[in-house]
Amino acid sequence: MQEKPEIICNIPANRFSILPWLLLLFSLTLTCFVGYRIKIDIDHNEYQKFESNCKEIETKIQTRLAKHKQMLLSGAAMFDASKEVSREQWRIYVNRLSLSRDLDGVQALGFSLWITPEQLKTHESRLRKEGFADYYVKPEGKRDAYTSIIYIEPFKDRNLRAFGYDMYSEPIRHAAMNQAIDNNHVSLSGKVVLLQEGTTDVQAGTLMYAPVYQKNKPIDTIEQRRAAIFGWVYSPFRMTDLLHNIILNVDDINPNLSLQVYDGNQIKIENLLYQSGHEVSDVSSLFSLETQIELYDVLWTLHFEQLASAEKKVDYSKFWIITGAGIFISFLLFFLLRSYFLMLQNAHKIALELTQQLRKNENKLALTNADLVQFTNIAAHHLQEPTRRMVSFVQRLKNELTTVSGVNDDVTISLEFIEQSAIRQRALVSDIQIYLAATQPRAAVERVSVEEILPKVLQRHAPLIHNIQATVTFGELPVVKIDLPRLYDIFNILIKNALHYRRLDSPPKIHIYGESFGQRIRYYVEDNGIGIPTEYHERVFLVFERLQVNDDQTSTGIGLAIVRRILESCDGSVSLQETAGGGTTVVFDLPAGITL
């Protein structure tokens, strides 16, 4: 008995001094990882909003051009349904469409007539008789075929420049007009400079064409459609005017969204059709997206950028709150554990001094043991108090948040993380307290019936046993001589481990029995759980060793170390074996008659 205090004092108490630093490093690393993932999620959500705005603009562009298509088709239908469409009828029709009010960006709505070389002189003469004395098809020159814009509304201002123009003479317009003829559908031209443009505020333009065929002629084949062409209802668009209002509408939601529209699939300055008013080069870009849309035989490339500004910033408040809370908890746990080990070192020094006194006088022995136990209890009390307060304040904060609307789920998750960490810290301090007191009896040493201990242990774990449908059976249970609290701790730890480290494909089965041999008694606790690899059979008895990192929140990695410490202080031993069929069997033995 007198030798045991000396053995305890020879254990260097400061060998665990690195643990607080390892805990701090692990906690800060985990905090950084969680913070990084949160930032990734924030950026992802912001990008999804940006992408949604881009899709909205793309849809509005397609919708706007679809309106123009229907407008042109209705104009073509007017020619199909009428014997002849006069200039006055065309004016009334276009006025009814209210272009300037409902279809911003549409410069005009007109009709271009197909003219063969044989019809050219007659055509020009007829138009001059209608009151246009200076009329001629321009540009002049001999060509295989001619077209002329004879109707264009509003017939005033810059639109007068287009009157009499042969669009078929210009390659880009020529290609779009042929597409409309050959396919009998609406076509869109590539980038052009409209005739209506002056020397200032020049915008990129494009034109949309709908073919009109001569009546009562077949148009089933391309050759038939080319032979039957009568003209085109067409509309010129100034691209900035066309798209500006679409961007203005999105500006209400996202004022820092920049858009460039390019003709074709290449981003080149010469292909630029439209650019929003934001100067991309002046500010940094948060996100960018490039998409292509096919519109009536042409391809447009849309390049979006989300610009950074003082008004538009990504909200990282959630990231800073969670990261700050993680750093605070990391240092809190560091100082708590460091304080604990500093007290443990002080206790070690005190134990050395007390041991020297015990060698001189055995009658101070009982008092010294009492002091050590009291010191351990006081230290545990002071370490438990901050965690109790933390849990209390977190629970109060969670209750307060239930009355606040719009609370972010991540804030609730963060509070739950803080609460669970505090609960785990409280369990850690409790197990350390048990570990330090494991060598001393906590009640009278007497013959204890295991049959009386086990029901109490099972009652403690009854909810878990019921939930996981565990089965606990018993064999022979010899009586042992030990204090009841420490025997309870042994079985409580072993049964708890067997319940928690279970297989997911079958309910836990635990069998407990004992046997006598000579002057000793041996107990077996068998389970069918996940098992422990042979190479770890000794390591798991070390303090803070856990093979499973996702186990129960109150698991501390000290349980088996407590079991070994109790048994070795009672001249016993403990080891692990593999259970037949899978699982682990804990084997421990005690003397038949223990003297303490």
For residue 58, the tally of other CB atoms under 10 A from its CB is 19
What CA–CA distance (Å, rounded) separates 265 from 288?
Answer: 17
Q: Are 321 and 417 in a shared domain?
A: yes
What CA–CA distance (Å, rounded) separates 542 from 548?
Answer: 14
Q: Are 546 and 470 in a shared domain?
A: yes
Q: Are 29 and 122 in a shared domain?
A: no
Residue with the larger pLDDT of the pair 594 and 214: 214
Q: Are 433 and 445 in a shared domain?
A: no
Q: Are 499 and 531 in a shared domain?
A: yes
Inside any domain, residue 496 = yes
**Most confident listed range (91-95, 196-200, 350-354):** 91-95
pLDDT at residue 594 above 50? no
Q: Which of 233-237, 239-243, 274-278, 427-431 has the lowest mean pLDDT?
A: 427-431
Q: Which of 392, 422, 437 is the last residue of a domain?
A: 437
pLDDT at residue 149 above 90? yes
Range of the domain at 330: 1-33+315-437
Inside any domain, residue 77 = no
Q: Are 4 and 135 in a shared domain?
A: no
Q: Which of 402, 417, 437 is the last residue of a domain?
A: 437
Q: What is the pTM of this model?
A: 0.49
Residue with the larger pLDDT of the pair 477 and 35: 477
What 8-state DSSP symbol labels residue 297? T
For residue 281, the model assigns a pLDDT of 52
pLDDT at residue 596 above 80? no
Ramachandran category for residue 306: left, alpha or beta (phi over 0 → left; psi -120 to 50 → alpha): beta
pLDDT at residue 484 above 50? yes
Inside any domain, residue 349 = yes
Inside any domain, residue 156 = yes
Omega within 30 of 0 (cis) for the link into 478: no
> DSSP per residue over 523-554, as a string?
EEEEE-SS---GGGTTGGGSTT--S-TTS-TT
- The answer to whether the CB of 269 falls within 8 A of the CB of 147 is no
Inside any domain, residue 589 = yes
Specify the number of domains making up the chain: 3
pLDDT at residue 242 above 90? no
Which two structure tokens, joined as six digits, stand for 111? 């009709």
What CA–CA distance (Å, rounded) separates 115 from 121?
Answer: 10
Q: Are 394 and 413 in a shared domain?
A: yes
What 8-state DSSP symbol labels residue 591? E
Inside any domain, residue 73 = no
pLDDT band at 312 (very low <50, low <70, confident <90, very high): low
Give percent of the chain with pLDDT exceeding 90: 26
Q: Are 384 and 453 in a shared domain?
A: no
Residue with the larger pLDDT of the pair 93 and 344: 93
What CA–CA distance (Å, rounded) separates 239 from 263?
Answer: 11
Inside any domain, residue 281 = no
Which two structure tokens, joined as six digits, stand for 528? 């069918």
Q: What is the pLDDT of residues 352-367, one digit of tens each?
A: 787 777 677 655 844 5
Place of tokens 């069998």: 511
Inside any domain, residue 401 = yes
Q: Which of 210, 229, 244 is the last residue of a domain?
A: 244
What CA–CA distance (Å, rounded) separates 254 from 591?
Answer: 79
Q: What is the mean pLDDT of residues 319-343?
A: 78
Q: Are 463 and 524 in a shared domain?
A: yes
Q: Are 579 and 562 in a shared domain?
A: yes
Q: Are 550 and 512 in a shared domain?
A: yes
Q: Are 350 and 461 in a shared domain?
A: no
pLDDT band at 53 (very low <50, low <70, confident <90, very high): confident
